[in-house]
Chain A
C-alpha cells in the first residue's frame, strides 16, 4: 500500500482557545516497522479476576513483543481484556485481579518477579502508562505539581528546576500558556488539555516504553488527531516505544506500526498494520474493519437511509467460556471444527500470526 496523507495538524486554532500545535502533515501508514532490539517481551501471560464465586479469566496465554521505537496497537472490543493487559504489564491490576502465569520481560528483567521497591523505580521512569481518562488526576493538586511529583520521585532535582522542566515539556506537547496551566486545577482544563497532562505525566521522565490505554476515547475529532500525531512525533523525536490500546481501528491505523487484534482475552491476529488492514486474515478482524462507517455510502436527500454494518451477536461471557473458538458463534466462516476445538496460533506468513482453523492448511493463505 502506498503512503497516504491525513489532514493531521492542518488545523490550527480551536474553539475555546484550546492551544493547538501545528504539527505539519503526518504520514498515515507505516512502511517497514523499525526493527530495534526487543524492549518488552510478554510471554504466555494469563490474568484473571475473582468474582464472588468463581475466577474469570480475562487474558489467557498472551505473547507479544514490542521493539525499541516501535508503536504497537492493540485493537479489540470493550471487555476483551485490553486494559487488563496494560495494567498487568506494570502490575497495576486492582486487588480482585491477579496474573496467574506468564512473564513480562522489560529490558531483560521480569517485571512480575521484581520486588515492589524495584518496580517503583521502573514505573514512571522507564515504563509509564497513560490512563484511559484523565480522571486519574488528583482534583486537589495543581496539575503542574502532579507532573513534577513524578519527576522528583525519580530524579534528584529542585522544585524550581522541576518546574522549569515540566513547563518545557508542556510547551513541547502543545500545551500553550504553560505558566498558567502549571497553576491550574484539573477541572479548569478542557478534556484535551487534561489528556495532555496525563501524557506529560507519563513522559516527564523520558521513559523507554509508554502504554497508552485508549488515549483518545471521549475526545473530539480534532483533539483526537492532535493527540495521535503527538504520539507519533514523540516516537520520532525520542525513540519512545508505545503500546497503544484502542477500540477504534482508525486511530490505530494512523499511528501503529504493528497491530495486535484481541478477542475474548486472546490474540486472534497480529501483523504489520498495513497488511492487517488491507488483508485481514481472521474473520473477526475482517468483520470489525467492515463496521467502519466509511464502508457505507453517503446519504442523499430522499434516500432510504442504509443501515450500518455490525457484528451480530455479542462477545462470549467470560464466566461461561466456550469449548471451541470463542468467535465461532458470530463467525461468518464457521466450520464444524470451530465449535469443538480451540484453534492454535498459526504463522500465516513470516510477520503475521492468526488464530483460526481456516489457515491450518497453508494452501488457503
Chain B
C-alpha cells in the first residue's frame, strides 16, 4: 500500500472530522426553563422566536453559528413550586441558561448566586431595553441592581357577575356604582362578603367568592386592606403584624360563616374553579387577574368591551374598614439569565430580543397581559385587542408589587395554609393568626420581623 496515499487519506479524514465537529460546535445550545403555563405559553415561546431571529441574523452575516433553544417546560402547580424545583436544579448544576420566574423570586435567585446581575447589560444596551416602562424595573430589582427583565405585567381584580347581581335584585345603576364605592372606601371587604353570602343564601349561585386554590400573590392584595404590609422597606426585611393578621383572619372567618368563601375552594383544581366561575356561572365573584378576560370572553362568547362590561364588573380589593383605601397588586413575570451559564451574553441578548414590542405584544394580546414597553400602548393591535388592558390601567393607581425578599415564597405559603385552615373550618380566626405568626417565626427566624 502506498504510504503517501494512506497518509493523505488520514489527513483528509482528520480534516473532515475537524470540519464536521466544528460545524457541530457552532450550534450553541441555550436551555430555557419555563413552567408550562396555559395563561402565557409565549413567555417561553418568545425566547424561541428570539432564537429564530438571531439565527436569521447570523445567516445574513455569513456565520456558521446557530443558536439552538432547548426548552424545558415543567409541570409545577404554580410559580412557587416551580421556583423551588428550579433552585434544586441549579444546586445540582442542572440549571438552564434562561429562566422564567415570578418577579418576587428574583431576590432568592440573586441571593443564591443563580441569577445574573443584568445591570451592566441593561445600561449598555438601551436600544433593547430603553422603552421598558420604568416602574416595572422595581419588580426585578434586588439590593439596588436589576437581576431580571420584566416579561409582562398585570392588574388583579374581583370579577363580579352582573347577571347574578341582577338576580339578587341589584339595579344596573347600583352595579355600575360598586367599583367607585370600593375606591372611595364606602364598600368594604365585609360588604363584599355580605353580598356574596346573600347570593349563596338565596340560591342565586353555588359559591360566593372563588379564589385561587394554591398559594400565590392574590392573597397579599386581600390582606393589604387590613393593614398587612409584608415588607419593611427601612429594615429591608419581611414583617408580619399580629393585629393585622388577626383582623385579616377575622374577616376570612366572617366570610366563611357567611358562606361567601367555600370550604372546598382550596381543595378544588384550577379546572373545577374555572368551570364553576366561567362556563357554569356558579360563582358570584371570582378573584384573579385581568388575563382571565380571555377565558371569560370565550366561555360566554363576549364580543369586545361593551359586551364584556354588561356581563362583568371589576373591583379592586376593598378596604377592611369604611374609609380605608382599596388595594391592587401587579405581579410581573420576568426573564432571568443564569449566572452559571456558559453563554451569559448570548442568553442576555436573547432575552433582549424577546422583550421587543412585536413579540411581547403577541404575548400581551393573546393572553391579556399588560405589555412592558411604553411604545406598545400605541400599537393598533394592543388598542384593538387589548381593550381590557387599557380599561384596567386606572386600577393600577392602587397597585403595589410583592417584595423581592428571598423568603417571600415561604411567607406566602404559610399565609395560604392559614387561610386554608380557616376556610376548611380547621382553625378559628385567632388560631389562624397564631399559626401564621408561629410558623413565620419558626421557618424564617430572623428574616422576619414580628410586630404587634
A and B physically associate? no
